[in-house]
Amino acid sequence: MEFVSHYECTLCHKQLDKDSQQLTCPSCGESGILDVCYDYEAVKQQFTKKSLKENPDPTMWRYQPLMSVAKRDFSDTLRVGGTPLYRSKGLSKKFGLEKLYLKDEGLNPTASLKDRASAVAVMKAIEAGISTISCSSTGNAASSLAGNAARMGLKTVIFVPKRAPKGKLAQLLIYGSTVISVDGDYGDTFKLSKEAIDRYKWYNRNAAINPHMVEGKKTVAFEIAEQLDFDVPDWVVVSVGDGCTIAGVYKGFYDLLQIGFIDKIPKLLAVQATGCAPLHQAFHTGKPFEA
């Protein structure tokens, strides 16, 4: 957090102080997603390839100078990050590629990349002195938040649509979450969660609102680059829901480019399910689209 310079609205480019507790732009409302901006020149002075190589911490917190969390001892948190990058010779041969790598995020504590965002959410809640964190989710984000929050002694209130898998609900309950099942679709679930968060002043982990979730997810790009000795791939393929993960992947490579660790940003390929592809629809039509 010491190298964060300010927040900037991605729509109107209004700048907010780095100590602001706003999650979205006060002028643009919920559409005004904020970007966490860094003093890259200051980062360069303390965060180098040499210092990174000498850092014994194998988790995502090894990249703390380029994250929006305060410096602290992270040894009491779940071990998030440091997941393996496998070279797949079989798939490379099948698709006619020279090299193809697979990043195994299933080895995170709750078995998904969402742990990277949730770990940051927990730290930001602690920094703000908030003891309850909430989100709406159909699965991985919810279980991720529940697990990471439980480790640090925080309460969670999770809003899920009725169609949420029973296995995921069981996982939430095991972690001690308060689970609220909403009779409606994900949009209804998200709306209700936001109303409750605003009313009870809980910490908001919803990725579509909270800019710090991108800051957690971008660590996967840091790891990919470091595991390839900063010779980044030509393409990175990312499964996409609301776009937070692919935004994080881009932001991670962008950060590394700014501090001179890499010389290019890979091209990104977003993949969405046919049954729910709002970003694909918006990208190819040039028009806003809601799922």
Q: Last residue of a domain, which of 156, 185, 210? A: 210
- The band of 290, judged by pLDDT with boundaries at 50, 70 and 90, is low
Specify the 3-state DSSP secondary structure of 288: coil
- Is 100 inside any structural domain? yes
Instruction: Quickly state the pLDDT bin for 17 (edges 50, 70, 90).
Output: very high
With respect to residue 35, please indicate whether it lies within any of the assigned structural domains. no
The pLDDT of residue 291? 53
Whether 242 and 265 map to the same domain: the answer is yes
Asked if 121 and 241 sit in the same domain, the reply is no
CATH number at 201 reads: 3.40.50.1100
* Residue 37 neighbours by CB distance under 10 Å: 16
Q: Answer yes or no: is 33 within a domain.
A: no
Cβ atoms of 254 and 247 closer than 8 Å: no
- Nearest residue to 222 (alpha-carbon basis) of 260, 256, 267: 256
CA 117 to CA 218: how far, in whole Å? 9
Report if residue 31 sits inside a domain: no
Q: Is 1 among the domain residues?
A: no
Same domain, 82 and 218: yes
pLDDT of 289 strictly over 90: no
- Spatial CA neighbour of 4 closest among 131, 124, 119, 122: 124
Residue 192 is assigned to a structural domain of this protein:
yes
CA distances from 289 to 151, 281, 283, 284 (A): 38, 7, 9, 11
186 and 204 belong to one structural domain:
yes
pLDDT for position 138: 79
- Each residue's pLDDT tens digit, 162-178: 888 888 899 999 999 99
Number of structural domains, the chain? 2
Query: In the listed set 210, 226, 259, which residue is the last one of a domain according to the structure?
Result: 210
Residues 233 and 226: their CA atoms lie apart, in Å, by: 12
What average pLDDT does the segment 109-122 reach?
98
Asked whether residue 223 is assigned to any structural domain, the reply reads yes
Among 178, 210, 242, the domain-final residue is 210
- The answer to whether position 4 is within a domain reads no
pLDDT of residue 6: 98
Q: Give me the phi and psi of 35, to 5 degrees please.
A: -110, 135
For the full predicted model, state whether its pTM sits above 0.85.
Answer: yes
Give per-residue pLDDT as tens, 50-87: 999 999 999 999 999 999 999 999 999 999 999 999 99
What is the domain extent for residue 152? Answer: 114-210
Sequence-distant (6+) residues with CB within 8 A of 56 are: none
